[in-house]
Structure 1
């Protein structure tokens, strides 16, 4: 992991790790051989703290997801290509757009920047985001959004955000604290992999959001 990656991931972790998590990690560290040397000490401590809230490797899963997000946010030439590919999949017949995890960041960025021609976007009525990390300030800063700036969609697109409180990538929270336009819906994706795209797509709120706009 590069120094830039470690700095971004650690910053994102600091925004989702609670004081109780940190206190628990410090107590655990005092009872063991210390912080593992897989990553810089600051990042390792934060991962240990996040694991207190999300056992079974939650911290490691968060690190992997944030490295992917950072790759999109800070590789502008790649980001342009990705948005172009996603934008080509949206045309006049598209009524619902679904974005999972990093996909939610890409779709929101695409809509926010207005890179889809109005005639191609004319049929879109609903955006559904699932397991979205957009609630993390570091991610929004990577989209060149100022702290405190609310997220908005163009036109009259309805935004439904589906999240599982046990989803490590979201920090366990929704998006209505950073947007007055989003409707958060809490779901239970089960114990094994709450961040699973397939599990999100199988939930009733996602099915309703798609079916209601495709009739």
Structure 2
């Protein structure tokens, strides 16, 4: 597929891996999609998925834990960010008195301020057990990117290095990665396609939290429609059951985006590999590689 190079930008909970393994995992999922939807002899172009999680504080791991947990205390500013984001999901969820709510998420997980615990309990009653804790874990990492400048700059530097590879015209960004890439585009760090094969031509986002008002405020876009510069096409995949993406697209906040609903099944619908093998991504790779 010509000289196309793909950059993938991962999302949350990627502490226990590295660039080599991430790239291999993403390539495998994309290859499944290409061969399934475009034929068995279709090959994926070169790609890189830079690992930026070391910019976050190293997590403590529990034996057998599938995902690292974050044990840094929740301060007042982060608590306000978490509560505002959770309210976007279920404004009336924290109906139980905070004094009656548990103050931890369970064995091995950190202490939570009671208002956060109450909000989690309310969301779990509305959306299913475990949904609130999943959201809080994601919200905390998003907060670290948006409100810790040194960490954010390290993340952007790691991702930007991958974009210097010649032929990088397609980016696929999952979850928090979609926030990172959009922020970099708006900062002018990732230039749009120039018509001569240079610059980013297509952005594919998957399972994105860009609909959160707290995120848009954090990247300086509060009260504005999210728009990419001319020259960059934007495709957004969202899946039923993906709580991070609220199982809906971004068209309400990004008028130019092309939303596509996909089915990722019932188990881990937010997982990157569930998105990466879908037909819209396979056809986008084929089109950009021509």
Give yes or no for TM over 0.5. Answer: yes
Residue 154 of structure 2 corresponds to residue 81 of structure 1: yes
SS at match of 1:124: coil
> What is the CA-CA distance between 1:130 and the residue it aligns to?
0.5
Normalised to the residue count of structure 2, the TM-score between the two structures is 0.66
Alpha-carbon deviations, 1:145-165, whole Å to 9, x = none? 222x01111222110010113
> What is the CA-CA distance between 1:118 and the residue it aligns to?
6.4
Cα distance in structure 1, aligned partners of 2:199 and 2:148: 30
Q: Quick one: structure 1 residues 205 and 56, their matched pair in 2 at CA, closer, same or farther if it must change by over 3 Å?
A: farther
Residue 175 of structure 2 corresponds to residue 109 of structure 1: no
> What is the CA-CA distance between 1:117 and the residue it aligns to?
5.4
Residue 261 of structure 2 corresponds to residue 186 of structure 1: yes
Alpha-carbon deviations, 1:30-75, whole Å to 9, x = none? 9xx9311222232222212222343241110100001000101011
Can you give the 5+ residue segments of structure 2 that lack an aligned partner in the other structure?
1-73, 105-111
Can you give the 5+ residue segments of structure 1 that lack an aligned partner in the other structure?
none
> What is the CA-CA distance between 1:128 and the residue it aligns to?
0.3
Equivalence map 1:56-135=2 (5 Å) = 56-91=129-164, 92-116=166-190, 122-135=198-211
Of 145, 151, 160, the match for 2:221:
145
User: 2:116 maps to which residue?
Assistant: 43
Structure with higher helix content = 1
Cα distance in structure 2, aligned partners of 1:193 and 1:54: 15
Cα distance in structure 2, aligned partners of 1:69 and 1:17: 19
Alpha-carbon deviations, 1:62-89, whole Å to 9, x = none? 0000100010101112212211221121
Q: Quick one: structure 1 residues 6 and 175, their matched pair in 2 at CA, closer, same or farther if it must change by over 3 Å?
A: same
Q: Quick one: structure 1 residues 119 and 156, their matched pair in 2 at CA, closer, same or farther if it must change by over 3 Å?
A: closer
Q: Quick one: structure 1 residues 164 and 117, their matched pair in 2 at CA, closer, same or farther if it must change by over 3 Å?
A: closer
Maintained 8 Å contact 1:54/1:166: no
Cα distance in structure 1, aligned partners of 2:243 and 2:237: 14
Cα distance in structure 2, aligned partners of 1:113 and 1:51: 37
Cα distance in structure 2, aligned partners of 1:55 and 1:67: 20
Of 221, 234, 240, the match for 1:165:
240
SS at match of 2:237: strand
Cα distance in structure 1, aligned partners of 2:175 and 2:206: 6
Normalised to the residue count of structure 1, the TM-score between the two structures is 0.87
Larger radius of gyration between Structure 1 and Structure 2:
2
Aligned pair count reads 206
Residue 279 of structure 2 corresponds to residue 213 of structure 1: no
Residue 252 of structure 2 corresponds to residue 177 of structure 1: yes
